[in-house]
Structure formats: structure tokens, C-alpha cells
Amino acid sequence: MSECGTRIITLNQIGYPVDGQKIALFTSSESEFKVIEESSGAVVFEGQLGDLVEDGASGVTVRKGDFSAVQQPGQYRIEQGEHRSAAFMIADRPYHDLQQGLLKAFYYYRCGVELTEEYAGPWKHKACHTAEGIVYGNPELKLDSSGGWHDAGDYGKYSGPGAKAVADLLLAYEMYPSALLSPIPLPESDGHTPDVLLECKVELDWLFKMQEAETGGVYHKLTTLNFPGLDVMPEDDTAELYFSPVSAAATGDFAGVMALASRIYKPFNHSYAQKCLDAAIAAWGWLESHPVVPGFKNPEKITTGEYGDEQDLDERFWAAAEMFRATGKEEYHEAFKKLAEESFPKYMLGWGDMGGYGSIAYLLNDKVDKESTLYLSLKEGLLTEAQRLSDQSRQDGYLISLKEEDYIWGSNMLVMNNAMLLLFAEHLSGDSSFAVCALDHLHYLMGRNVLDISYVTGFGDKSVMHPHHRPSVGDDVDAPVPGLVSGGPDRGLHDEYVVEHLQGKPAAQCFADHELSYSTNEVTIYWNSPALFVAARFNQ
């Protein structure tokens, strides 16, 4: 499949909670619809569509069909005349398998180890990238670089994006622990430590290797000089690996995620938690001794993903908040307060804008005075941003918070990051309407979008089949590696395939389920991680 066309009836192809709101979206001129029980063919509900909504981002006129009255668990479909929807379920916890799949995806991203058939099924492969890496600019120095997760559709490993992904998973466990008790299982599953923490440890153990022993600074990334071909399997990518130079953004992210990890792992492994905290303290020392640092640029001859970031105040802000929360020491509190006076985005959750993690760490910290000016200011700011997202979602035909200009490269990360922020707003305010809006974002990801496609491989009737993901292209398995979140529509048409095939399409239709479309159909760990956080909220 190369292009996706619009569909008449769209809905969450996984399903809906028994007692939740259930809305399908229609682009036809008819005004009635039926809900059909799959096995018997019986009509269980007949409904009327709502008002017409002109949706600029998707280029269609859309109407809501509300069938919240259907509360009997089971398998269903929706029919309107000759049109049929994807099949879906109504259940108490419809997103349990989805959440497990989103987490299992990180196992498939593992680097440096064999993925055995017992745990990987047909997507098994041999150990990869086990050679030592060369420190760029110091060719005599070679270091152990194995482990962690491949970042995306390529085999690079990047400190900042890795820290964001781990943070999302650790926060999901902290916020919704009951949702994350079931084993996946993983090779390390032990019945004691939750699998989500065992999987995060894989990346944390690699991140330790990215810290420069003498200074505490953190190498920005570990990659080959150039990307391998699209059909190259991990074990066949044998070009030399290079540690790119230390960056402030990577070091700040490292300090933040290690301080966070030190709290989360303490009940399970005290010595490991201390190792995380010691590493965070060393990284903080580097940040303090390097107050002004130029943004990272790819060194000469390295053409892999740059993940450049000119602004490191947000990473420092997160690091200070997590260091204060982990230690209670006033020196970190003072540093946080000083950074809070600076101007940078404080409610975003992207790998390049990590300020939201700093605000959240502060707002969740029991040691903070809840009546202080700073606490109240950050809380008001977060709730104001969440309300803006909620208001925007109500105006959108597909009930999500993206404006037309927000359909950028990786738009599905924005969809899920926004849903995460809405859920933190729910937690801080007690207002359940924020959770309803967040769930609408999950409905979009899982098929209630103009293209009627589930953006998660292996989940839903009509899911992404051809991601820009080297193992999925290079193996001999027809189905892609399951549980991977695709990047989603990108109105900028940033690759040759979509330039050729999608000219003139509305923003939300600028997507191609094709392996050559790296700007719309690549996958990454930090698109999976917020999706898992959101699924966990509705899997408690």
C-alpha cells in the first residue's frame, strides 16, 4: 500500500471502555447509523449523526455518531447503508493488549543482544553492534558501546531521545503502576521487578556508557558515519561506530532521567538506584562547570540524525527539578528557581523541548510548598496549556488538539505528548474532562482519523504495514515488527516518495504507508513511549 484514501466511517479499531464515551466519525451525507454485534449480526443500537463540521486539517466534512449507550462487552462493527467500519471491541480494559504491545516494541528495538525466537517470534535476529565505538576526535580511544535501544528506523542510539523515552515509561509506572503489573514477558522477567522497569534498565545501562568518565559530560549520540541501506538487518550493519562529542542537551537529559530513575528503582534495587544518582550528580557537575555551551552540530563526515538543539535551558531545568526531587537538597531547588525565571517552553514534552518534564517533576514533588508563587505559577501554566489543547480538540473534526500547521514530521508524537500533558492536568486538577480529551487522542492514533488507519503496527483492522524500519524491511516476514508507532501525517512533504505522491493533499492526509516515506512512516522509541503512557492511564 502506498497511499491512504479517506473512509466513510472511522473509529478506534481496538475499541472503547464499557462505561466511556463512544464516538465514531462519518464523512457521508446520510444521517443514521447502526451498531451491529459481530457474531450474530444483530442490530444493538440505531443512532442519529450530529451536526456537520468542516474540518480544514483533514479536508473533509465530518459528523459524530455517539453510541455511548452500548455498554455490553463484545465485538461490534458500525454500518451505514453499504458502508462498514472496522471491527472493534467494547470491554472493561480494551487497551491492555495494545499497551503490552507498545511496551514489547522496546524489546524489538534492543541493540547488542540476540533476539531469540522464544521472545521475538518470527522477528528474531542475531546480536548486533557489539564492537567497541571510537570516540570522535580521539581515534585511539575505543569504548564499550553495546546495549540500549535502536532509536528509530535506523540503528543509531541517541542520548537525549533515549532519555525522553525512558522518562515517559518511568512516569507511566509512577502514575499508573496497577496498569503495568502484567509480564510481557521479557527474558529478564522475574516476578519481582515490573517488566517496564526491566526494559528501561536496558536503555539506562547503555546510557551509563555514554557518560565521559573524567568529566561527567554525556556523549550526544553513538552512530556509524552514515545510515545503512534500508534492507540491512541489524547484525549486518558492521560499519565502525562513533561516539559524537559531549553536548549540554544530552548531559542535561541524562542528569534528569538518572535522577528520576534513582527514585523509581530504589524499592527494587538500592545499589542500582544509587548508581543512577551518582551518575546524575556527575552530569550536573558538568552542567555547572559549562554554563554556556554551543548547540550540538554533526561532526564532519557524520551524516546520521543530528538531533541538534540550540537551547539547553529546558534540559537543565528538568535536571534541576529531578535532582531536587531525588535528593531534597536546596542547591538544586535554587538552581531550578533561577532557571524557572528564564524564557523557554515549560510545558512541552518533545526530545528537543524537555521543559514540560521539569515542570511536572516540580509539581509532583511532595517536598515543594504547594502555596509558593512558583508552584502556583507552574500549575496555572500547565492547566492553561491543557485547557488550550482541550478547546482546540473540541473545534477539530477528529477531536484532537492539532491545528493544520501542527501536522509536522512526527505529528503523532505531538498527538501523544499533548495527551500526556492532558493527563497530568487531570492529575493536578481532578478534572476528568482532560482524560476524556486525552482518550480522544488515543482514538485518533488507533484509527479514528481521516485515513481510517491504525498508526500502530499489528494493532487494528487496518494498521500500518510498511514502516520505514530496517528490520521490518530486511527480514523475510510479511508483517512488520508489531507495536511500533508510525510518525503520521507531515504536511511539509519531507521525503521524495510523498513529494511524488501526495502533492495538494490536506495536512492530515499527508501520510503514506510506504517504507520509502521516512518523513511520515518512520518509527521511533520516543513516539512509542508517550503512547504507552496514555494507554496505561486507561488500562488501570
Residues involved in catalysis: 154, 468, 513, 522
Are 124 and 115 a contacting pair, CB within 8 Å? Answer: yes
In the structure grid, which three cell numbers stand for residue 292, read together? 554556556
**Which residue's C-alpha cell is 444493538?**
44
Please state, in angstroms and rounded to a whole number, the distance separating the CA atoms of residues 324 and 364.
12
- Phi and psi torsions of 139, nearest 5°: -60, -20
Three-state secondary structure string covering 50-96:
CCCEEECCCCEEEEEEECCCCCCCEEEEEEECCEECCCEEEECCCCH
Q: Beta strand 133-135 with 242-243: parallel, antiparallel or unpaired?
A: parallel
Q: Provide the sign of the torsion angle of the four alpha carbons 137, 140, 141, 147, taken in this order.
A: positive
- Phi and psi torsions of 221, nearest 5°: -165, 170
Three-state DSSP class for 406? helix
Question: What are the strands of the beta sheet with 157-158, ordered from one edge?
Answer: 138-143, 133-135, 242-243, 221-223, 157-158
Question: What are the strands of the beta sheet with 60-66, ordered from one edge?
Answer: 9-10, 23-26, 60-66, 53-55
Query: Which residues neighbour 29 within 8 Å (Cβ) at sequence distance 6 or greater?
Result: none
- What is the Cα gyration radius of the chain? 23
In the structure grid, which three cell numbers stand for residue 436, read together? 476524556
Q: How many CB atoms lie within 10 A of CB 354?
A: 31
The H-assigned helical ranges of 401-432 are 411-429
What are the distances in angstroms from CA 395 to CA 53, 218, 232, 347, 392? Answer: 9, 43, 44, 22, 5
Please state, in angstroms and rounded to a whole number, the distance separating the CA atoms of residues 57 and 38.
33
Are 26 and 55 a contacting pair, CB within 8 Å? Answer: no
Q: Please report how many Cα atoms fall inside a 13 Å half-sphere around the Cα of residue 511, on the Cβ side.
A: 32
Please state, in angstroms and rounded to a whole number, the distance separating the CA atoms of residues 57 and 65.
20
Please state, in angstroms and rounded to a whole number, the distance separating the CA atoms of residues 253 and 247.
10
Please state, in angstroms and rounded to a whole number, the distance separating the CA atoms of residues 211 and 90.
47
Q: Which helix (H) or strand (E) holds 119?
A: helix 117-120
Please state, in angstroms and rounded to a whole number, the distance separating the CA atoms of residues 300 and 131.
22
Cα(first)–Cα(last) distance of the chain, in Å?
Answer: 36
